[in-house]
Amino acid sequence: MQLDGKVPGGPIESRWERHKFESKLVNPANRRKLTVLVIGTGLAGASASAALGELGYNVLTFCIHDSPRRAHSIAAQGGINAAKNYRNDGDSVYRLFYDTVKGGDYRARESNVYRLAQVSADIIDQCVAQGVPFAREYGGLLDNRSFGGAQVSRTFYARGQTGQQLLIGAYQSMMRQVDAGTVKLFPQREMLDVVMVEGQARGVIMRNLVTGELEKWAGDAVLLATGGYGTVYYLSTNAVNSNVTAAWRAHKRGALFANPCFTQIHPTCIPVSGDHQSKLTLMSESLRNDGRVWVPKDARDPRPPQQIPEPERDYYLERRYPSFGNLVPRDVASRAAKLVCDEGLGVGDTGLAVYLDFADSIGRLGKDVIKQRYGNLFDMYQKITDDNPYQVPMRIFPAVHYTMGGLWVDYNLMSTIPGLHVLGEANFSDHGANRLGASALMQGLADGYFVIPNTLSHYLAGTSLPKVTAEHDAFAEAASNAQGQITRLLTVRGQKTPRELHRQLGRLVWDYVGMSRTAEGLRTALTEIPRLREEFWHNVSVPGEANNMNKNLEYAGRVADYLEFAELLARDALEREESCGGHFREEFQTPDNEAQRDDLQFAHAAAWEFTGVGQAPVRHVEPLQFDYVKPSQRSYK
Amino acid sequence: MSMNLTLRIWRQANPGTPGRLVEYAAQGISPDMSFLEMLDVVNEQLIRKGEEPVAFDSDCREGICGTCGCMVNGVAHGPDAAATVCQLHMRRFKNGDTITIEPWRAAAFPVVKDLVVDRSALDRIVRAGGYISMNVGAAPDANAMPVAKGLADEAFDAAACIQCGACVAACKNASAALFTAAKISHLNLLPQGQAERGRRAVAMVDQMDVEGFGACSNEGECEAVCPKEISISNIARMNREYLRARLVAR
Ligand SMILES: Cc1cc2nc3c(=O)[nH]c(=O)nc-3n(C[C@H](O)[C@H](O)[C@H](O)COP(=O)(O)OP(=O)(O)OC[C@H]3O[C@@H](n4cnc5c(N)ncnc54)[C@H](O)[C@@H]3O)c2cc1C
Ligand code: FES
């Protein structure tokens, strides 16, 4: 299969303008006759629904939550980037573009990243006009901070609730369209299949999570904005209902899945406390602006941290990366923490933690300033751990946080299935092998508010779309397929709960496809995952019925999909014989343990084609070209 | 270290069937568990026995999405101030305790199953006017309109609402005044929200009545349980905004 990214030509600065100009438009009077099915109401789905509703399309929007405003985007704390250069510190569209391509370790499409940087400023304008209460200075203008390894202050933030405030903005705009009648909202619906008619995505099968009924919805295009697959690791910072189900089912219908092995481990999370743990809590990495990371130099040091004198502490990030220090990118900081813990220097009961210490900043700035900056995070930490971080250093450890991989899309955000568009974290996106802090919110809103309204009109105006209703046979086939799986889940009547099996899967992928990977480990994963899948289908217990609310049934379906998806994750990691960004293969590292890319062989996106459960998938390649940002070894020394 | 507890949990198959409290033993509970992780453990045991687990809502499990919520010993979100039930930890309880767990109770929040209620009425209140009308593409530069920090902070305090519905559950009138007032305050305080100020207040307050929420009689129970500590002073502002709009309309 030839993967065509549909990237427009010409100088990078004018590609998006030109592309918009060359796009076909839908006559305003015709828009209401076109039905767009939007799956997901996170930043990507809610912003797309609002924007398309404003344009006058007939939008049907679905989500698994009881209210669209609860999507996982709500959890983002830190902020959103934009090339506004309000600080006069040398930022520009070009610099944001450059930082993002480099931060992604040269595995993203340049044109997409440039467009993202271009529309970033419009996002902030849009959100402020909607009433998003970004942090302000005393003069009443917007405040910024530097975030996630950036040397300019381009991050806009809303206390520790940036995601929540941005999502409320998008949700409210969408609700305005619901009021106007252009958007119809269907919460508590789970997408179980994409319906294909003559090679085009023309509908979806949704399970009503309250009544259990399978619903058939027909439309002219489908937009997937269903988020990332971080919960394949069981423990992650993602909300517990996050899933790969919608994306995976689309994959099984022919949408290629790109770069699943690009997963992000966030360095500053609260460590695991026991087997009961159901999720991990992120502590915003803005904490690294004022906190110093260290471990004792002596692995057996029994003293509480405050009593360990300076010379006996190893501030290993400052030591190894003198110019970036505690602010190195996430992948670098996470791996460094793992290295010191592997050497036995980790702290806490489990030895799987490092200190994040604010004593110096409190000494320098005073407790009040620290409280003002991080008060809510400190409170959250104390609530969970029962420790007071104003007095003792926090204990932190890396946790799975974000997934750069996702369904392959072209410049128009269309997958390899005509009509099926993918937005937000669900696509393989603009972050390459590693996402920089504060850029997922930017991408989700860029996709929804600014990109899709343009590219979708081009598709709708330029494609022959014969009338299709939910009476078409393809809907009955897809629904009976979905029903088949549900019935199968209910009839196993085994001994293990979906959670136990999910936990087991999580262990496997964390151990072998986690922060650092080897060919041997990946091969182990590739034999163990199918075995666990086999066990699942013989031994899962799903009591109750399908004809009403059955959360355990929903969960079991998601775990079943993860058991298929995890195999692809491991296979992609095995075939990518290089280290880049979040994908670290122990065989490929520099003498001082940094990731060693192989641009000759792997400067491409790997996009996988489904051939059957347990069958070897086919690997396709989209070569990546770097005409503007020349690949170099990333160095944060 | 680990605790044994007795749980009395509301079980109700669907909106049409009457529910009742059923007793369960929760054994070997670690004080480090969150309250919902404790419920996970109980559910795991039920599933292994082939029984239906207790249905309850949750998602972020860190107090920000507003999905979780139940009455713990009669208190919305349980005994901790400024916390959702997913943020409650078992170290708050003692070995041997009996804990009663019930869904939100309000006419406008019908029980769907067990601890899950239908809170869509809150979305409909937002739909009625909880937004600023502005199409994508029409926004001026973000710094074109300065907003005094004090005002911005006040609006933010109101915008921190997570729409969990605890305020309704705690109120003896099952009023949604705090929720609605928080949204009206957030938008009406900001300069961007001025153009629709009156219409918004009237539409949202009227919708609140249509949904069957009770009237506010200033009991303050809502503020006491609000996980985001939204101030009851917002309700006074809502009332002023509503009256002002009605007077202007006349
Ligand atoms: C703790 C945390 C903090 C973060 N902080 C930041 C930050 O500071 N800055 C930043 O830029 N990024 C941050 N991120 C990343 C960012 O929040 C996410 O990548 C982004 O919000 C994803 O948005 P989305 O719209 O793609 O998906 P989501 O917000 O995950 O929305 C997915 C939607 O799809 C629906 N859905 C899911 N599955 C189905 C299905 N099968 N059927 C139907 N509907 C379905 C859900 O109901 C939901 O509405 C953070 C992430 C986490 C976990
Ligand atoms: S589960 Fe999100 S607030 Fe409790």
pLDDT per residue as tens digits for the range A83-103: 999 999 999 999 999 999 999
Same domain, B152 and B105: no
Residues B149, B52 share a domain: no
Confidence band of A377 (pLDDT split at 50, 70, 90): confident
Last residue of a domain, one of B73, B92, B112: B112
CA dihedral A365, A369, A375, A377 (to 10 degrees): -50
Among A341-350, A459-468, A562-571, B188-197, which is the least confidently predicted range? A341-350
- In the predicted model, what is the mean pLDDT of residues A545-557? 97
Work out the angle at residue A4's Cα, subtended by the Cα atoms of residues A604 and A57, and round it to the nearest 5 degrees: 120
> Per the structure block, which two tokens stand in for B29?
């509970």
Q: What is the pLDDT of residue A141?
A: 97
Which band of pLDDT confidence, cut at 50, 70 and 90, is reported for residue A159? confident
Best of B29, B64, B141, B228 to substitute, by most chain A Cβ atoms within 10 angstroms, is B64
8 A C-beta contact, residue A42 and residue A444: yes
The verdict on a CB contact (< 8 Å) between B143 and A278 is no
Of A122, A185, A276, the CB nearest to B33: A276
From B112, B136, B152, the end of a domain falls on: B112
Task: Report pLDDT for A275.
Answer: 86
| % residues pLDDT > 90 (chain A) | 90
Tell me the H-state helices in A181-283: 245-252
Q: Is the pLDDT of residue A108 over 70?
A: yes
State the average pLDDT for chain A.
96
Adjacency order of strands within the sheet including A200-208: A189-197, A200-208, A214-218
Of B59, B62, B135, the CB nearest to A70: B59
Strand positions, DSSP E, A112-199: 155-156, 183-186, 189-197
- In whole angstroms, give the CA distance from residue B214 to residue B173: 5
In terms of residue numbers, what domain contains B50?
A: 3-112
- Give distance in angstroms: CA of A426 to centre of ligand 1: 9
What's the CATH code of the domain at B201? 1.10.1060.10
Residue with the smallest CA separation from ligand 1 atom 44 is A63
Give the mean model confidence (pLDDT) for residues A520-528: 98
The whole-number average pLDDT for the span A289-300 is: 94
Same domain? B12 vs B124: no
Segment holding A509, helix H or strand E: helix A498-512
Residues B54 and B70 in one domain: yes
Give the Cα separation of A159 and A373 in Å (integer): 8
One domain, residues B125 and B245: yes
Domains of chain A: 12-23+31-262+404-462 (3.50.50.60), 265-400 (3.90.700.10), 473-595 (1.20.58.100)
* DSSP secondary structure code for residue A231 in this structure: G
Whether B128 and B230 map to the same domain: the answer is yes
- The answer to whether residues B212 and B130 belong to one domain is yes
Question: Residues A545-562: what's their mean pLDDT?
Answer: 98
- Looking at the fold, whether B179 and B126 belong to one and the same domain comes out as yes
Cβ neighbors of A584 (< 8 A, separation 6 or more) are A331, A335, A515, A516, A517, A595
**CATH code, B54:** 3.10.20.30
pLDDT at residue A149 is higher than 80: no
Residue entry with tokens 């916390």: B83
The reported pLDDT for the residue numbered B4 is 98
Question: Mind listing the pLDDT tens digit of every residue in chain B (250 residues)?
Answer: 799 999 999 999 999 999 999 999 999 999 999 999 999 999 999 999 999 999 999 999 999 999 999 999 999 999 999 999 999 999 999 999 999 999 999 999 999 999 999 999 999 999 999 999 999 999 999 999 999 999 999 999 999 999 999 999 999 999 999 999 999 999 999 999 999 999 999 999 999 999 999 999 999 999 999 999 999 999 999 999 999 999 987 6
Q: Which of B83, B112, B141 is the last residue of a domain?
A: B112
pLDDT digits (tens, 9 = 90+) for A232-252: 999 999 999 999 999 999 999
Q: How many other β-carbons are positioned within 10 Å of the β-carbon of residue B14?
A: 14
From the CA of B69, give the closest atom in ligand 2: 4
B200 shares its domain with B145: yes
Q: What is the dihedral of CA A455, A458, A461, A465, to 10 degrees?
A: -70
The pLDDT value recorded for residue A306 is 93
B60 touches chain A (CB under 8 A): yes
Count the domains in chain B.
2
Contacts of A120 in chain B (CB under 8 A): none
Helix (H) or strand (E) holding A103: helix A93-103
Tell me if chain A has a CB within 8 Å of the CB of B63: yes
Q: Which residues of A touch B70 (CB under 8 A)?
A: none
Interface of A with B in 46-75 (CB under 8 A): 47, 50-51, 54, 65-70, 72, 74-75
pLDDT on residue A330: 85
- The answer to whether residues A563 and A600 touch, using CB atoms and an 8 Å cutoff, is no
Helix (H, G, I), strand (E, B) or coil at A566: helix
Query: Has residue A636 got a pLDDT over 80?
Result: no
Q: Which residues line ligand 1 (CB under 6 A)?
A: A 39-45, 62-65, 71-73, 75-80, 162-163, 190-191, 225-227, 237-238, 242-243, 245-246, 282, 401-402, 424-426, 438-441, 444
Task: State yes or no: pLDDT of A375 exceeds 90.
Answer: no
Q: Exposed (0-12), middle (13-18) or buried (19+): which is B92, by Cβ within 10 Å?
A: middle
- Answer yes or no: do B136 and B213 share one domain: yes
Helix (H) or strand (E) holding B26: strand B20-29
pLDDT value at position A399? 95
Dihedral sign, Cα of residue A284, residue A286, residue A287, residue A288: positive
CB-CB under 8 Å, B32 with A543? no
At A585 the pLDDT is 97
Ligand 1, atom 31: nearest CA belongs to which residue? A42
Q: Which has more pLDDT, A324 or A363?
A: A363
Residues B134, A130: C-beta atoms closer than 8 Å = yes
ipTM: 0.98
8 Å CB contact between B109 and B139: no
Shared domain for B156 and B127, answered yes or no, is: yes
- Do B74 and B9 fall into the same domain? yes
Nearest to A165 among B132, B141, B159 (CB): B159
pLDDT value at residue A215: 98
Cβ-based burial of A207 (10 A; exposed 0-12, middle 13-18, buried ≥19): buried
Q: What is the pLDDT of residues A473-518, one digit of tens each?
A: 999 999 999 999 999 999 999 999 999 999 999 999 999 999 999 9
pLDDT of residue A2: 86
* Cβ distance of A54 and B135 shorter than 8 Å: yes
Which pLDDT does position B250 carry in this prediction? 67
